[in-house]
Amino acid sequence: MAADQNSGLLQRLVLPPIKQAHWKDTLPDQLQRLRPGSLNLISHHWQMRCRDLSSLIKLLQGEGFRIASFHTQEPLTAISAQALGLPVQLLESDPMASDATPSDDSGDQSSDTKPDCTTQLRLHRGTLRAGEQIETAGDLLVLGDVNPGANVAAAGDVMIWGRLRGIAHAGRDGDRAAKVVALQLRPLQLRIADQVARGPDDRPQPGLAEEARIDANEIVIEPANPRLRARMSVPATD
């Protein structure tokens, strides 16, 4: 159902709804119905880490496909895609649609779907320097570093495509399921809901994204593990 061979327009590849099937299983079939070449990839609510994404890209390349643009509703996936140099469009996230089947209405979603950020996601491009701060009522996505002396806070998740070396507060209004994700998590101080932690002292491992979340009343920091994704993608809503 993903193959859409509108002549003139770029063909689109729409990943299946999360609950129906895994994209890895459906992909070979889907690709069969497409002509090798450029395509727009719509991943909807799939949460993908760099590792998932690069395996997807490899699979596509193997069959002669190239991603012309990458559409997602997941900030985390957007971060990964950005990291791999894909042209990313973060789609407006429809909270109703997140559990529905995104492929149903995908027919009228053309590649020029407004890449508008949600009202819930605040996107900041560029490094935040000492003395600068951002606060937002939704999720926060920073494409850049958060330097020592800078301060970011969000009612939802704080996601940093860069190094966090300042202070970050996720779940500012008390959401204990909120998390902080960064390519390098070496904050001066980290807060999730009402929990406070100092950043770790050891040197970060290069190339690993890390995330902080509350586990048994403690803030834990660990490599953002792609295998944890499924679990993480069903956060408790308040």
Residue type, 193: A
Based on the shown chain and the rule CB under 8 A, indicate whether residue 165 belongs to the binding site for other proteins.
yes
Query: Segment near other proteins (CB under 8 A), from 19-27, 147-155, 191-199, 210-218?
Result: 147-155
Q: Draw the binding track, 69-98, toward other proteins (x: CB under 8 A; -: no contact).
A: ------------------------------
Q: Minimum distance from CB of 206 to other proteins (Å)?
A: 7
What are the percentages of helix, strand and coil residues in the chain, rounded to 5? 20, 35, 50
- Give the H or E element holding residue 231: helix 229-232
- The β-bridge partners of 42 are 14, 71
Query: Segment near other proteins (CB under 8 A), from 87-95, 107-115, 124-132, 224-232?
Result: 124-132
Query: Segment near other proteins (CB under 8 A), from 5-13, 103-111, 141-149, 167-175?
Result: 141-149
CB 28 within 8 A of CB 115: no
Query: Segment near other proteins (CB under 8 A), from 7-15, 48-56, 65-73, 125-133?
Result: 125-133
Based on the shown chain and the rule CB under 8 A, indicate whether residue 37 belongs to the binding site for other proteins.
no
Separation CA 3–CA 12 (nearest Å): 6
Chain centre distance of CA 94: 15
The CA angle 76-77-79, to the nearest 5 degrees, is 65
Based on the shown chain and the rule CB under 8 A, indicate whether residue 149 belongs to the binding site for other proteins.
yes
Instruction: Work out the end-to-end distance of the chain between its first and last CA atoms, rounded to an integer number of angstroms.
Output: 35
* Residues 6 or more apart whose Cβ sits within 8 Å of residue 130: 147, 148, 149, 150, 166
Q: Draw the binding track, 169-208, toward other proteins (x: CB under 8 A; -: no contact).
A: -------------------------------------x--
Number of residues lying near other proteins (CB under 8 A)? 12
Which residue from 4, 139, 145, 211 is in contact with other proteins, where contact means CB under 8 A?
A: 145
Which residue from 105, 131, 174, 198 is in contact with other proteins, where contact means CB under 8 A?
A: 131
Query: Segment near other proteins (CB under 8 A), from 51-59, 98-106, 129-137, 219-227?
Result: 129-137
- Give the H or E element holding residue 75: helix 75-83
CB 38 within 8 A of CB 12: no
Which residue from 111, 132, 176, 232 is in contact with other proteins, where contact means CB under 8 A?
A: 132
Q: Which residue matches tokens 């129906």?
A: 20
Residues that bind other proteins (CB under 8 A): 127-132, 145, 147-149, 165, 206
